[in-house]
Structure 1
Amino acid sequence: MARPQAPLTAVVLMITATLFIAGTMLAAKSLGTDTLGAPLHPLQISHGRFMFAFIGFITASAVLRPKIRAPNMRLHMARTIFGATGVTLMFAAVAFIPMSDATAISFLNPVFGMILAIPFLGEKVGRWRWLAAAMAFVGALILLRPGPDTFQVAALLALGAALAMGFELVLIKKLADREPALQILLINNAIGCVLMSVAVIAFWAPPTLAQWGVLVTLGLMMAGAQTCFINAIARADASFVTPFSYLTLIFAGLYDWAIFAQIPDWISVLGAAIIVSGAALLAWREAVNRSRARRIPVSMGGRV
């Protein structure tokens, strides 16, 4: 049963999710490089992400005691495979190219998600939403600083992550319209934990104490991000709310500044400003649409 639409709540939840997601990128960067010891393989980082997120959700389930009702396991399995592929590719990319670049490339997934939502979800995307998405895409391209160094293996890994997560986005929306959020998150992380536990066997290396701490933090931050994200897209059209995830680029830049004293240059500021402008345009059009819906009969409604 579909949940009532609540666009403002969806936006707040999505922005909170982006704070956590940017934090996971920072954690993955420290684990995939020699910052805290010998670099860990991306599959091992993904394993830690799923394992500790699952522990978080199973703990929440023990307290809340949710009823598991008729889960669509085919959708859950497909969603988890795309999600695990996307996050592993992202963790691999962030170890080799700057975090801001990897984040910018991988978070093109809302554009893929918006486009895929048209044939798979039947969502109507009018000219204003296309314009807002285009603005965000242009902002991301500016942050990428197109040039010879952009087209390297790590950049392609991040692009592959964006595509995989775009497919995951569509599947999450399908699940969010049918099943409770906690059920979706619990099953997703349970499947992911099993899959990654098998995949990591050949690449396992003993983490340092500091790496264990970061792995735990990464998993819990991802659990928080997933909780906010799944509730956000359950309360608004995917084509409306997902472009707000571009704010991850801004938060990643702030983390770089706060931790590594890396101050964004004018190109980063310009790209971020365009992305925020696109998100603001989406929010404004949603407010206009809600106002019109109160005055105009449904039979007269159109795409905007």
Structure 2
Amino acid sequence: MTEPQAPQTAIPPAAITPTGPAPNPGLAVLLMICATAFIAATTLLAKALGTEALGDPLHPLQVSHGRFLFAWIAIATTLAVLRPRLIRPDWAHHVGRTLCGWGGVSLMFAAAAMIPLSDATAISFLNPVFGMILAIPFLGETVGKWRWLAAAIAFAGAMILIRPGTEAMQPGALLALGAALCLGFELIFIKRLSGREGPLQILFINNSLGLVIASLAVLAVWQPPSPAQWAALAGLGLAMACAQACFVNAMARADASFVTPFSYLTLVFAALYDGVIFGVLPTPLSVAGASIIIAGAALLAWREQVNRRKRA
């Protein structure tokens, strides 16, 4: 989920053990809505840290470091209190997933400082489309005409937002596209990890490795944050940890096909935050592009559910 995690760094339903909580669709929806609000809050704080809203702008790598640092503190504390049973981790897939997630989060934070949050969030919704395409060579999956149609629709919406070949094309949109690609690669590793380890263990290992990577990357660009920036960094990390926890628990209480559509509320919260805090309102072109991307992503999610039922 992931910066992002929309849905940047999420745990699929297969990663939830059969001994998890009892189904509760109403609570699952509430948890998913909370997750989207927290995810949008991370991009809002990243934008504040990457602009002059809280002082001299911080480099995206430093913002990403703060996200992993404070998320790790929150998750490590939870792990110490709950003391779940841990098993031997699949380090190769964890490292691959974390590298892609860290890259996606860093690019997303950079994009959030340059373009409206609603545009950056909408473009990030391409990550399941990239994940579908990458699953062909890396997982040997077969993609039918419906899923290719969904991908084409989503990319058409992205082109409206990016506007390639015109003077209106913004580097921030390309950074958001790069973030979606990285998060698409992350989905490949998530699929390979799903069902092998518990969700809390996966979150802890992901954030631990991410903290190591981010700590090394930030050395070249580190600058002392102001007190307000420290507070925003802490809030960003805690918001991401809360988003991951809400997402995992939502998926554990209802079918993915039921709760996944509510994840698109991230776009609504991002536009709301951007409008209230920074006075940036989405343009009609932004609304059109975002709507088309969501339509493509929703069609893809529907086909995934149909295929899952056929396999079952």
TM-score band by shorter chain is 0.7 to 0.9
Report what 1:77 is aligned to: 95
Among 199, 202, 209, the residue aligned to 2:220: 202
- Partners in 2 of 1:122 and 1:230 — Cα distance? 27
Report what 1:28 is aligned to: 46
User: How far 1:105 moved relative to its partner?
Assistant: 3.3
* Amino acid corresponding to residue 184 of structure 2 in structure 1: G
Kept in 1, the 8 Å contact 2:150–2:297? The answer is: yes
SS of residue in 2 equivalent to 1:202: coil
User: How far 1:231 moved relative to its partner?
Assistant: 6.2
Kept in 2, the 8 Å contact 1:48–1:215? The answer is: yes
1:27-106 → structure 2 map (5 Å cutoff): 27-106=45-124
Report the CA distance shift for 1:61/1:129 in structure 2 as closer, same or farther (over 3 A). same
* Amino acid corresponding to residue 111 of structure 1 in structure 2: V
Q: Which moved more, 1:123-132 or 1:256-265?
A: 123-132
1:187-226 → structure 2 map (5 Å cutoff): 187-226=205-244
2:168 is the counterpart of 1:162: no
* Amino acid corresponding to residue 153 of structure 2 in structure 1: M
1:1-304 → structure 2 map (5 Å cutoff): 3=16, 12=29, 16-123=34-141, 125-149=143-167, 151=169, 153-229=171-247, 247-278=265-296, 281=299, 301=310
- Partners in 2 of 1:143 and 1:228 — Cα distance? 29
Q: Deviations over 1:136-171 (max 9, x none)?
A: 333333333445245554443332222111101111
- Partners in 1 of 2:148 and 2:250 — Cα distance? 20
SS of residue in 1 equivalent to 2:155: helix
Report what 1:296 is aligned to: none
Kept in 2, the 8 Å contact 1:31–1:39? The answer is: yes
Report the CA distance shift for 1:257/1:151 in structure 2 as closer, same or farther (over 3 A). closer
User: How far 1:44 moved relative to its partner?
Assistant: 1.0
Q: Which moved more, 1:242-251 or 1:15-24?
A: 242-251
SS of residue in 2 equivalent to 1:148: coil
SS of residue in 2 equivalent to 1:69: coil
- Partners in 2 of 1:242 and 1:117 — Cα distance? 20
Kept in 1, the 8 Å contact 2:118–2:270? The answer is: yes
- Partners in 2 of 1:283 and 1:157 — Cα distance? 24
* Amino acid corresponding to residue 149 of structure 2 in structure 1: L
Kept in 1, the 8 Å contact 2:116–2:280? The answer is: no
SS of residue in 1 equivalent to 2:220: helix
- Partners in 1 of 2:129 and 2:246 — Cα distance? 20
Kept in 2, the 8 Å contact 1:33–1:39? The answer is: yes
* Amino acid corresponding to residue 213 of structure 1 in structure 2: A
* Amino acid corresponding to residue 266 of structure 2 in structure 1: T
* Amino acid corresponding to residue 173 of structure 1 in structure 2: K
User: How far 1:210 moved relative to its partner?
Assistant: 1.2
SS of residue in 2 equivalent to 1:268: helix
Q: Which moved more, 1:17-26 or 1:272-281?
A: 272-281
SS of residue in 1 equivalent to 2:185: helix
Q: How many residues in Structure 1 have an aligned counterpart in Structure 2?
A: 292
* Amino acid corresponding to residue 44 of structure 2 in structure 1: L
Q: Normalising by structure 1, what TM-score?
A: 0.79
Report the CA distance shift for 1:200/1:288 in structure 2 as closer, same or farther (over 3 A). closer
* Amino acid corresponding to residue 82 of structure 1 in structure 2: C
* Amino acid corresponding to residue 291 of structure 2 in structure 1: A
Kept in 2, the 8 Å contact 1:105–1:159? The answer is: yes
Q: CA RMSD in A?
A: 3.6
